[in-house]
Amino acid sequence: MTVHEETIHQLTIPTPFPVGPVHSYLISSDTLTLVDTGPLTIEGKTSLVSQLDTLGYRIDDIEQVILTHHHPDHVGLAGLFKSAVLIGHRFLRPWLRKEEKFFQKYKMFFDEFYHAHGFPRPVIDKVLQSGQKYMDLIEKTDLDVIVSHGDNVPGLKGWRVLEVPGHAQNHIMIVRTEDHTAIGADVLLGSISSNALLEAPMEEGKERPKTLLQYRETLLLVHDLNLNILMPGHGEMIKNVNELIGQRLQEHITRANVIKNLLADNRWSAHEISFQLFKEKHRKQAELTFSETFGHLDLLVELGDISVTKEDGLFLFHK
């Protein structure tokens, strides 16, 4: 089947998150393929089912579902597709399976990490609890097929898988090489910068991934694809992909410099820096603002602009 006989439909599904609705994509091709599903909410399910119905399909008609990363707005309803093949990255598996041991280790990592970076105990408890609630918006299921960087997408001729870590450790995107078209989920968004979220190491004995540094490498990789169009997980279709990537990379440096200036005369914990930067927002959404801050601290350390010292069990950042 040629590119021209393939149709991509965008579905837009409501989410309970500040980011707003999420896009799924239905590719009608050799294999009827859905990319991402929307969250496990009544509104999400109703919306997905009715949009598929409008296109003439039932849930059971979908032959495979590609899951871009573990966030509930993207994979929450994957369990609905009982007769489809579920495809994703190997690091997506413990999230979908809801492996208790994995979650315990994950929580333990963040408990220690937040503590060592100056979070007060009540804030740590609140952040860890909200993480658990967030995961309730995913129905327990499992992957049938694991894909890796460079693989052909099973059942979709001409499409390739790329691993694009940064926003999530298990983030993949798919690219139709012939016409430089990609479905990118949260790898690049038009109106907001995609947060390089902090995550615990996925493998025993590994270090914490420096997610903003990873994300910047991912952006360079996407830049090299010279995409004509990138279909995102949220917001408008992106046609000026490389221009936007240049802008995002520059914004990271600009934000990092704000932190660098804050640290000209101060020795602060990452929690304090995050509070100075975000004030009220840091109180309300500490895990998001902290990821943002931490990413830029990693960047400044990498550039040799700041240092970090451990004093009495607390990490302090300084000139």
Nearest CB to Zn ion, comparing residues 189 and 297: 189
Which contacts (CB < 8 Å, 24+ apart) does range 218-222 have?
A: 218/164, 218/165, 218/166, 218/171, 218/187, 219/166, 219/188, 219/245, 219/248, 219/249, 220/245, 221/162, 221/164, 222/162, 222/164, 222/173, 222/182, 222/184, 222/187, 222/188
The least CB distance from residue 160 to Zn ion, in Å, is 21
**Per-residue string for binding with Zn ion, 171-190, x by CB under 5 A?**
---------------x----
Question: Scanning residues 100 to 119, which ones bind Zn ion (CB under 5 A)?
Answer: none
Does 292 sit near Zn ion (CB under 5 A)? no
Size of the site for Zn ion (CB under 5 A): 2
User: Hey, what are 21's tokens?
Assistant: 């609705």
DSSP letter (8 states) at residue 21? -
**3-state DSSP assignment of residue 267:** coil
The least CB distance from residue 62 to Zn ion, in Å, is 21
Tell me the sheet residues that pair with 66.
35, 87
Concatenate the DSSP letters of all residues of 169-181 into one string. TT-EEEEEGGGTE
- Report d(CA 317, CA 298) in Å as an integer: 10
The least CB distance from residue 185 to Zn ion, in Å, is 7
Nearest CB to Zn ion, comparing residues 6 and 36: 36
The least CB distance from residue 186 to Zn ion, in Å, is 4
Nearest CB to Zn ion, comparing residues 76 and 155: 76
The least CB distance from residue 31 to Zn ion, in Å, is 25
Does 71 sit near Zn ion (CB under 5 A)? yes
Does 89 sit near Zn ion (CB under 5 A)? no
User: Hey, what are 194's tokens?
Assistant: 């995609």
Nearest CB to Zn ion, comparing residues 71 and 89: 71
Nearest CB to Zn ion, comparing residues 71 and 176: 71
- Report d(CA 104, CA 101) in Å as an integer: 5
Nearest CB to Zn ion, comparing residues 186 and 287: 186
Site for Zn ion, rule CB under 5 A: 71, 186
